[in-house]
Structure 1
Amino acid sequence: MSGTRSALVTKTPKPSLTYQLVSSLLVFPVFRGLFRGSCRGHEHVPREGPLVVVANHGSHLDPPLLGHALGRPVAFMAKAELFEVPILGSIIRACGAYPVRRGASDRDAIRTATAKLEEGWATGVFLDGTRQADGRVNQPLPGAALLAARSGAPLLPVAILNSHRALGSGHSLPRLVPIQLRIGEPVPAPSGRRRADLDATTAELQRRINSLLDQGLLRP
């Protein structure tokens, strides 16, 4: 077991006041009211310690919805330029986002995300790395599996249903369709960093998320 794994803390940082206000006054009304949002599978979410949250990606709605619906803060990478915007920068930083510079290497991003895990955060990763027009996992990348292999943190598969229809690529205005999050059982971290191990875990995450998507919207 690597030194990185043994250095992981077990306590999860408490959400800041700003995070709680944004979640309760902005994200909650949008998710529950406008999009009639619901979430199933909360019993699968570890409440303490580092966690790699892995999801499909259909729209810009996905990061705040994940952080709200899971019941614990989820840190996401964000373009460094956003942190320079007055007010917005302070808000997203308080909500656990961390900056990544344009042109930064994947290795730099992995190091930053691993540091968040060492602090006990849940760190969010979209398996395709970018939005997908059909909202599914189509060409998964091994970054989430590598994060888990480096840190020893479990991976939590989450399917976000209908966000690609609500505000996907090419949509300037949202469509008020129901959005549902379905949380699967955690997947153990890969046993090593060999490409074969990372690919096997990545394929399993893809299978589980797409399987949850295939179940369609279920009653809360």
Structure 2
Amino acid sequence: MKSNFYQKLIYQLVSNVIIYPIYKLIFRGKLLGREHIPQKGSFILVSNHGSLLDPPILGHAVGRNISFMAKSELFRIPLLGFIIRSCGAYPVKRGIVDKTTIKIACEKLSNNNSIGIFIDGTRQKDGRVNKPKQGAALLSFKNQKMLLPVAIINSHRLMRLKFFIPFFTKIVIKVGRPIPPPKSSSKKDLMEVTNCLQESINNMLE
């Protein structure tokens, strides 16, 4: 109970002291579709992925403590590792079925904690959803939790240099209508919901 309290306290400090100025002042962040964000209970946030800053920025913008799956290598990067760990992120090994990660995700959902999943599994150069994985749909079915599609616009091109001067791109985050869990764990039903998530996110990116 005490560790949970300290985790929330650290999250609030990191979110308001570090992430807020990055999101609002540097990238002029804006959130659309706030009315679609559940205010009670846990859910699975599903997003496109273009930048290492996506997890903390999304967690701050949505206003809920979202625990993201993040590749294990990121936890070894000093400042970034501290930030994502403070925000509740947990490591996943890419390229294999990581049963430990799935177990952690299910435990978080059962304890009323929301989780975040980048549906492609890795960053995309064009910032879109191109090759979605079915993991989010499967976790949704196993835990009977709603899926919240979220599009983060311009995360794949946060900064550009012009005459050696950095120019930062405005970030817009769009939240779509929640999508219910698949009817079953069959490949057909999982694919149907996964395609629905891909379509929803990419439509918001247009």
Q: TM-score, normalised by structure 2?
A: 0.86
Alignment of 1:58-207 (within 5 A): 58-80=50-72, 91-101=83-93, 105-166=97-158, 175-207=167-199
How far has the Cα of 1:154 moved from its partner? 0.1
SS of corresponding position for 1:75? strand
The answer to whether the 8 A contact 1:52-1:148 is kept is yes
Q: Which amino acid aligns with 1:135?
A: G
Per-residue CA deviation, residues 161-191 of structure 1 (Å, 9 max, x unaligned), is 00101169xxxx9750100000001000111
> Larger % of strand: which?
2
CA 1:86 to 1:134, structure 2 compared with 1: closer, same or farther past 3 Å?
closer
> 2:55, 2:84 within 8 Å by CA — same for their partners in 1?
no
Q: How has the CA–CA distance of structure 1 residues 25 and 125 changed in structure 2, closer, same or farther, with 3 Å as cutoff? A: same
Secondary structure of the 2:158 match is helix
Aligned partners of 1:34, 1:213: CA distance in 2, in Å? 21
Q: Distance in 1 between matches of 2:130 and 2:79?
A: 35
What is the aligned length? 198
User: Structure 1 128/90 Cα, relative in aligned 2: closer, same or farther at 3 Å?
Assistant: closer
Give the gaps of 5 or more residues in structure 1: 1-12, 215-220
Query: Aligned with 1:76: secondary structure?
Result: strand
My pick for the range that moved more, 98-107 or 145-154, is: 98-107
Q: Is the 8 A contact 1:55 1:157 kept in 2?
A: yes
Cα RMSD (Å): 2.4
Q: Which runs of 5+ in 2 are unaligned?
A: none
Moved more, 191-200 or 111-120: 111-120
What residue number does 1:27 align with?
A: 19
Is contact 1:148–1:155 with CA below 8 Å preserved after alignment?
yes
1:210 corresponding residue in structure 2? 202
Gap change, CA 1:175 and 1:121, over 3 Å in 2 = farther
Which secondary structure state, in structure 2, belongs to the residue aligned with residue 124 of structure 1? strand
Q: Does 1:55 align with 2:47?
A: yes
CA distance in 2, matches of 1:87, 1:52: 26
1:45-93 deviation line (CA, Å, top 9, x unaligned):
0112121000001111110111000010100123446557778766543
